[in-house]
Structure 1
């Protein structure tokens, strides 16, 4: 018997938006998947040939790139940060809308102009995206890698600016920060392991088509 296709999905906000898409594709997770107290990470679905794993957003790309999962749902921010050659991203799912932005204390932002920067010190979990963005403008970016609580960095003197995901902007505002530049708009994508796309095409291609139709239907 062939091993099930494994679809990696991210914990948190994107997953909530992805569940209706999964349903339109015909994939319904087992009841434990919705149990917030469950410690399980791998779940069966109504389709015996498909299992789900639920992992951190940054880890979705890693699981799929290394072939531990054949497909995944992940933000374009993660794809841009890691730039795995083993990944193919055939479908923009049109969910998880947000942006990667530069922010700084509001009082600094009121009199600052990013066009005049020559060197910046930035706290971020996106060092590669940040350095590429500023290098294209001839700006040297010194990145301090953090995995969370980015908004604390300016307050505690770790770095005067941050690069982070922004959705409503409420978290920035509540921490006295303001956006000064948008680096990229972000949406979630269906990703596929390139080797699996070839070796398990009979299973993978219909799934890709199903997600494409589901995303188009949602956008209509």
Structure 2
């Protein structure tokens, strides 16, 4: 069977390493769980997982067309994605530090899905996975890999919600939570600025 002939362990390790690595999606999940509880980011986690999985499938089915996307469109996606990340970073900077605070935004399903499609790193991860495991033109194997990735991605990024929830027992004062919120917010803002710097410069040069 094709499924049994696939390199499942390398595929699983590839998916796990990318899903667990710190990034804007995982930092948003961490901060949401910290401020609102472990269940609060569930819709965002689901959206981010399914959004990435859909992107992976479509990338594999149309790899040539994806690679031919105009640089200006990728730059525009980068800038829009950076703006979304900035929004969450700014919300964290404003958060007061009380549990279940209304100052820190709670992201939803569509924000999670859209953020993956607006993140060039997600596009690169999809292209890399398809190329690494030679999945172009192999629809069945691509769908099997995407299913495996979907499960691992949900668990991997969901682990950041558990981490955020567990941190609350150590952050027993509003001052400590406010400090962590400020740190996470600053990290998100710096990530957004680094994500948008080169694309914005190219867009301004073209215009």
- Greater strand share, structure number: 1
The two structures share one fold, judged by TM-score above 0.5: no
- Higher RCO structure, 1 or 2 (CA under 8 Å, sep 6+): 2
TM-score by structure 1 length?
0.22
